[in-house]
Amino acid sequence: MTFLIAMFESTKLHWNDHFRQFYQTYGPAVTRVFSTILITMMFYLAHTPIQLGMFAQGRSHGSQKF
């Protein structure tokens, strides 16, 4: 049982090391991409109500034709 716990601890440390390396390598890029996506989505959401209103009007007109 102790062996299993020790193994688990070592693998946990191992993965933490991997994650730290990964983050040091890709962290800044991932953060930049994430912030860009976030800003883009905020801009998109800011302009969405107008588009949604137009879309809803188009849909209602389309259903009247049929």
Instruction: Give domain limits for the chain.
Output: 9-44
CA–CA separation, 50 and 44 (whole Å): 11
Cα dihedral 46, 51, 52, 54, rounded to 10, equals: 150
Label residue 33 by pLDDT band (50, 70, 90): very high
Buried b or exposed e, range 44-59, using 16+ CB within 10 angstroms:
eeeeeeeeeeeeeeee
Q: Is the pLDDT of residue 5 over 90?
A: no
Label residue 32 by pLDDT band (50, 70, 90): very high
CA–CA separation, 46 and 53 (whole Å): 13
